[in-house]
Structure 1
Amino acid sequence: MTATVHRLGGAASPPSLDPMIAITAHDMNCVNAVILDRMQSDIPLIPKLAGHLIAGGGKRMRPMLTLASAAVLDYAGTRHHRLAAAVEFIHTATLLHDDVVDGSDLRRGKRTANIIWGNPASVLVGDFLFSRSFELMVEDGSLKVLKILSNASAVIAEGEVNQLTAIRRIDVGEERYLEIIGAKTAALFAAACRIAAVVAERPAAEEAALDAYGRNLGIAFQLVDDAIDYVSDADTMGKDAGDDFREGKMTLPVILAYARGDAEARAFWQRAIREGEAGEAELAEAVARMRETRAVDDTLARARHYGQRAIDALGMFAPSAAREAMVEAVEFAIARAY
């Protein structure tokens, strides 16, 4: 077994996804060809709406994780191309549905599909992409792969429903929050990495290690997203700052600030979250109260913790350019907040 890797925060230059993009470039071209082919339909609105999001500037991190995981394992086949496309279709479908549920009007700095074409079209094209993803899984022919990705799809939906029922619930605690993000975000990261070990026919321990890498990276990724909702802007985030606050989402920065606040602070959070008093003045006050309680700082500290767990999970794999790229992808995910 290879020694555990300890590198979070130790890079001399700002971390980047460039190494992962470089090692997966050829395979990603194959994946993109599958995506382009399978998003087509005789109904013109379907590829038009799907293409708006798929070609909208996303980094394709989840399918890249499938490809990078395969590279770590020295997998020489091509099955992972279609499966990485299936992963991207699952992700894109959930984004289309999420924007409808959240009433979002920006995604990656562009108007969301639901704003342009309406909620019904966005939901139905999301359903189309889910269906395409399952076609790709079935074509692969592995029941184990099908089980992993179909289970991830179900878990994501459960996480979204769990989050929906937690909206404006000021009593939501850290444990439930971690359940929500573990389902709605980390489950697909984990599955995207794990399926590479299945197609490469590697031992259960390596499958579990890639699952742990993806799951912990996914949690860290979402923690950072939830933190920068209060300390960033639309140009950086690709969505409006404070969206979570206005929607009454009990993310970890709010949970920590509420738990650490005095009676006056708690009354503020109850008005803002539970009663929906969440204008620009309230957002400014929320950010100030988070600074007082170090809620954002501690959210990012937790992100670094989960990021290190992701890096440690790679310790059983031999040193390689692919492993280094996966380590740097974790560091990149954390560095987005700085």
Structure 2
Amino acid sequence: MGVVLSLDEKKKHEGSIQPLVDLTKADMGRVNELILSKAGSDVEMIPEVANHLISSGGKRLRPMLTLASARMCGYEGDGHVKLATSVEFMHTATLLHDDVVDESDLRRGKSTARTIWGNQASVLVGDFLLGQAFKMMVDVGSLEALDVLATSASIIAEGEVMQLAAAKNMETTEDEYLAVIKAKTAALFSAAAEVGPIIAGASRADRVALRSYGLNLGLAFQLVDDALDYGGSARDLGKNVGDDFREGKITMPLLLSYRRGTAEERTFWKKSIEEGANDDSALEKAIGLMTRYGAIADTVQRARHFGEIARDALAPLAATPEKDALIDVIDFCISRVN
């Protein structure tokens, strides 16, 4: 039997990123200034490529996690601003590299850097941003924070290779796919949330709680992105609906549909993904199959599961405005698909 929510209850569970934005506004102003400063270079193409993506309208959720987690643990210095900027540079570098690997033409509604300046420039500017990120981590002077972010950079790279190995392979299991997104997406969310309590000198329990929160929020975030690619809009995605399908990406809705389908339908999926028969009519059929087998809805349900783990991770922490804002972010990330 389904659960019927009142309009007030629905609104409560929609969540909002605004409380987090408001709480971190002053610090994010400093982060944005540092981003512009550290993205500068005498090599003209570097700031051009970097600013093309940096200024393209992302929510900057990851650096806000660093700022909020530091503040909620009582941090009063300025190292969190440098670490938050490092996190954003790591994320931006990953996007530049991703677009080259995926041969993507659109990012956040704009042409990707690779389509304007070429693949080589995108990769090299991504490397420059990673270098700047690590210089700022060193400036902060926390070996523990440096270790957490350096480890996440390594894990992200491993995730990229894992995804490459699984590309267009319809025999990829759900566990294998979750391992990919845990590395590719959730690792940076986790690190972003953990370095705040580290520089604040918080207890191990608080540090572990925020690490778990970030990890599970990242998993939920990516699964919702997976669902949006087949059930969202270009405005929500910042790219065209169905781009994952056209690029032959293995994602959760696709895996579930493949597993649950008939032998004939599995042949369709293999031709579409492994052989590239993925025109508009194939996309329409793919979305129809996903709807028939509840694959999009079940992907969102899995996202909710990880969202609840993130919520439970924060439960023991002391009540603060930052804690409330981080809880709101969970609901916001999942409600994007509604």
Q: Structure 1 residue 42: deviation in Å? A: 0.5
Matched ranges for 1:151-190 at <5 A? 151-190=151-190
How does the TM-score come out when normalised to structure 2? 0.96
Distance 2:249 2:56 in 1: 25
**One-letter code of the match for 1:143?**
L
Q: Secondary structure at the match of 1:230?
A: helix
Matched ranges for 1:238-253 at <5 A? 238-253=238-253
Note the alpha carbon deviations across 1:25-45, whole angstroms, 9 max, x for none.
Answer: 011111112111111101111
Matched, 1:321 2:326: no
Q: Secondary structure at the match of 2:12?
A: coil
Note the alpha carbon deviations across 1:159-185, whole angstroms, 9 max, x for none.
Answer: 011001111101001000000000000
Mapped contact 2:30–2:81 kept (Cα < 8 A): yes
Distance 1:195 1:236 in 2: 29
Mapped contact 1:72–1:317 kept (Cα < 8 A): no
Higher relative contact order (CA 8 A, sep 6+): 1
Matched, 1:274 2:269: no
The sequence identity of aligned pairs, in percent, is: 50
The answer for the alignment partner of 2:19 in structure 1 is 19
Note the alpha carbon deviations across 1:137-163, whole angstroms, 9 max, x for none.
Answer: 111111111110000001001001100
The answer for the alignment partner of 2:199 in structure 1 is 199
Unaligned runs of 5+ in 2: 1-8
Matched ranges for 1:103-142 at <5 A? 103-142=103-142
The answer for the alignment partner of 1:74 in structure 2 is 74
How does the TM-score come out when normalised to structure 1? 0.96
**One-letter code of the match for 2:151?**
N
Mapped contact 1:64–1:84 kept (Cα < 8 A): yes
Mapped contact 2:13–2:331 kept (Cα < 8 A): no
Q: Structure 1 residue 10: deviation in Å? A: 5.9
Q: Secondary structure at the match of 1:168?
A: coil
Note the alpha carbon deviations across 1:185-244, whole angstroms, 9 max, x for none.
Answer: 000000000001110011111110000000000000000001111112222210111111
Aligned residues: 330
Larger deviation: 238-247 or 281-290?
238-247
Mapped contact 1:72–1:320 kept (Cα < 8 A): yes
The answer for the alignment partner of 1:286 in structure 2 is 286
Matched ranges for 1:228-243 at <5 A? 228-243=228-243
Note the alpha carbon deviations across 1:53-77, whole angstroms, 9 max, x for none.
Answer: 1111001000000011112212222
Unaligned runs of 5+ in 1: 1-8
Q: Structure 1 residue 317: deviation in Å? A: 1.3
Q: Secondary structure at the match of 1:197?
A: helix
The answer for the alignment partner of 1:5 in structure 2 is none
The answer for the alignment partner of 2:309 in structure 1 is 309
Distance 1:249 1:265 in 2: 18
The answer for the alignment partner of 2:88 in structure 1 is 88
Mapped contact 1:167–1:247 kept (Cα < 8 A): no
Matched, 1:39 2:72: no
The answer for the alignment partner of 1:4 in structure 2 is none
**One-letter code of the match for 1:244?**
D
